[in-house]
Structure 1
Amino acid sequence: MRRARIITSLAAAGLLALSACSSGSDSGKATGPAGVKPPKIEALKTVGTGEGQVNIVAWAGYVENGSNDPKVNWVSDFEKQTGCKVNSKVAGTSDEMVTLMKSGDYDVVSASGDASLRMIYGGVVAPVNTDLVPNYADVNDFLKLKTWNSVDGVAYGVPHGWGANVLAYRTDKVNPAPTSWSVVFDDASANAKHVTAYDSPIYIADAAVYLMAHKPELGIKNPYALDDKQLKAAVDLLKGQNKNIGEYWSDYTKAVQALKSGNTVVGTAWQVIVNLAQADKAPVDAVLPSEGSTGWSDTWMVAAKTKHPNCAYKWLNWIVSPEVNAQVAEWFGEAPANAKACEHTSDKGFCDTYHANDAAYASKIWYWTTPTAQCLDGRKNVTCKDYAAWTQAWTEIKG
Structure 2
Amino acid sequence: MRLTGTRLTNTRLLDGVRAKVLAALGTTAVLATAGLVACSGGGEDEREPVGVAKVASTLGPGEGVLNLVTLPGYIENGGNDPRVDWVTPFEERTGCKIGWKVVTTPREMADLMRDRGRHYDGVAAPPEVAGRLIAEDQVVPVNTDLVDGYKKLEPTLRGLLEHDGEYFGVPYVWGSNLLVHDSRSVPAPSSWGALFDPEQARRYSGELVMRDSPLSIAEAALYLKGAEPDLGIEDPYALTPEQLAAAGRVLKEQRPHVAEYWELPADAVSAFAAGGAVLGQAWPYHVDVLNRASQPVRGAAPAEGVTGWTDAWMISSRVQHPNCMYQWLQWTASADVQQQVAEWTGVAPANPQACSGDRLRPAFCSAYRVGDRDYLENVIFAHTPREDCGREPGADGADGGDKADEAACTSYAEWTRTWIESTKL
TM class by smaller structure? 0.7 to 0.9
In structure 2, the residue matched to 1:180 is 191
- Structure 2: distance between partners of 1:284 and 1:324: 30
Residue type at the aligned position of 1:178: P
Q: In 2, are the aligned partners of 1:209 and 1:292 still within 8 Å (CA)?
A: yes
Distance in 1, matches of 2:319 and 2:261, equals 40
Provide the aligned length of Structure 1 versus Structure 2: 365
Q: Which residue is 1:89 aligned to? A: 101
In structure 2, what residue type is equivalent to 1:116? A
1:124 counterpart = 2:138: yes
Give the partner amino acid of 2:272: L
1:362 match: 376
Q: Where do residues 70-149 of structure 1 align in structure 2 (5 Å cutoff)?
A: 70-102=82-114, 103-146=117-160, 149=161
Greater shift after overlay, 129-138 or 209-218? Answer: 209-218
For residues 142 and 394 of structure 1, the distance between their equivalents in structure 2, rounded to whole angstroms, comes to 29
Q: Any conservation in 2 of the 1:5–1:333 contact (CA below 8 Å)?
A: no
Q: C-alpha distance in 1, partners of 2:154/2:295?
A: 33
TM-score, normalised via structure 2 length: 0.80
In 2: Cα distance, 1:44 partner to 1:75 partner: 23
Q: Which of 284, 298, 303 is the equivalent residue of 2:316?
A: 303
Partner of 2:3: none
How many angstroms does 1:318 deviate by? 0.3
- Stretch deviating more after TM superposition (203-212 or 341-350): 341-350
State yes or no: 1:352 paired with 2:366: yes
Distance 2:170 2:296 in 1: 37
Work out the percentage of aligned pairs sharing the same amino acid. Answer: 41
C-alpha displacement of 1:119? 1.9
Aligned to 1:389: 414
TM superposition shift of 1:130: 0.6
Does the CA-based 8 Å contact 1:6-1:332 persist in structure 2?
no
Amino acid at match of 2:405: N
TM-score, L = length of structure 1: 0.85
Match of 1:315 among 313, 328, 350: 328
The alignment partner of 1:267 has SS state of: strand
Q: How does 1:1-399 map to 2 (within 5 A)?
A: 1-2=11-12, 42-102=54-114, 103-146=117-160, 149-175=161-187, 177-186=188-197, 187-343=200-356, 345-376=359-390, 380-382=404-406, 383-398=408-423, 399=425
Residues 45 and 134 of structure 1, relative CA distance in 2, 3 Å threshold:
same
Separation (CA, whole Å) in 2 of partners of 1:195 and 1:237 = 14
Q: Report the CA distance shift for 1:222/1:89 in structure 2 as closer, same or farther (over 3 A).
A: same
Unaligned 5+ runs, structure 1: 8-38
Q: How far 1:41 sits from its partner (Å)? A: 5.7
The letter of the residue matching 2:12 is R
Please state whether the residue corresponding to 2:362 is helix, strand or coil. coil
8 A Cα contact 1:195 1:264, kept in partner: yes
Q: Secondary structure at the match of 2:82?
A: coil
Q: Which segment is superposed worse, 57-66 or 288-297?
A: 288-297
1:6 offset after TM fit, Å?
6.9
How far off its partner does 1:40 sit?
A: 9.3
Gaps of 5+ in 2: 1-10, 14-30, 35-50, 397-402
| Structure 1 residues 341 and 291: alpha-carbon distance in aligned structure 2, compared to 1, 3 A threshold | same
Moved more, 244-253 or 55-64: 244-253
CA RMSD of aligned residues (A): 2.4
- The answer (yes or no) to whether the contact 1:104–1:305 under 8 Å persists in 2 is no
